Structure 1
């Protein structure tokens, strides 16, 4: 996890996988206000797609957020993980191999953005990446030592586009990446 930036004073309440604290934010008029902040650094996320077979490779894993609301904990999403001091591109490549079993050869950067800027410092680096059958070199599944039990799941691009259009993709980073793929590579979705 990266350290708290010195530009933002933070009174730490808890430090673990995430750091929780009260930050002091300076407003445009010079006044300051306390704001709750969750900090766990930067992450990279990559939507893998096979242009020949017109499928995307997502990973299904249990997530605490949906479970909190009484929804299924199982969430299909693009592979992602913390930078852990590394570079965003290297992290996207590592996570694709760890979680989906795919060796990536090229990445297309979509954006670097904030997941929840009102309460979190998390910066996400989002990528698109083509793959083919020859690039599937491992089983995926995540790192069991880190409590990951990840199931790679191929989804037809037409089905994924329909899910995006109808509001059935509940993971925001995956939704952004699916929409980016639809905008940047529309031929993949043509009948």
Structure 2
């Protein structure tokens, strides 16, 4: 643990969906001065996200669903295009993403590759997100997907040409950070090819 941080108090502000806490702590700065600070931290657990890609067809699988926080902050429809993702719950990251992939997209995948981990909003959210990629083929499709009925997800599954997905970042149709990171990872590591402009 960091010897420059001493937690004084933790107060639960909300435990309705996930847990929002107010943390009061003393922080020793580099110059030796100790400051009393307070921060709020939202704990929703950790998660996993995956980009499904098909090197033969040069396509990726994405999802579209309603996201209330984006609706409250300028997204006129509230609909967001994203890579398949979910919370770990009691699973490890690999088991979680295989389960979420089948529930959300309808593809049953066996092999996944973890590429990195990241804190997505470290100023306020405790979550670490585990990032995966996996190849898919039409033979892996076992259902229409759409998410778990009891979780009211109402997910639309999209199969998009990779070049178009990159264009969707540029023109603003894709604004989800985890999805942008995975698409750019795929481009950087040449998992799929980007057509060269004439």
Alignment gaps of 5+ in structure 2: 1-5
Q: In the comparison of the two structures, how many residue pairs are matched?
A: 185
8 Å contact kept, 1:110–1:177: no
Q: 1:15 to 1:166 in 2, by over 3 A?
A: same
8 Å contact kept, 2:25–2:38: yes
Q: TM-score, normalised by structure 2?
A: 0.86
1:163 lines up with 2:146 in the alignment: no
3-state DSSP of counterpart to 2:53: strand
Aligned-residue CA RMSD (Å): 1.8
Q: How much does 1:166 deviate?
A: 4.7
Q: TM-score, normalised by structure 1?
A: 0.89
Deviations 1:69-121 (A, max 9, x none): 24221111011110001100111111110000011122121211111000010
8 Å contact kept, 2:27–2:35: yes
1:33 lines up with 2:37 in the alignment: yes
Q: 1:160 to 1:26 in 2, by over 3 A?
A: farther
Q: How much does 1:190 deviate?
A: 4.1
3-state DSSP of counterpart to 1:56: strand
CA–CA distance in 2 between the matches of 1:187 and 1:148?
29
Alignment gaps of 5+ in structure 1: 1-6
Q: 1:93 to 1:186 in 2, by over 3 A?
A: closer
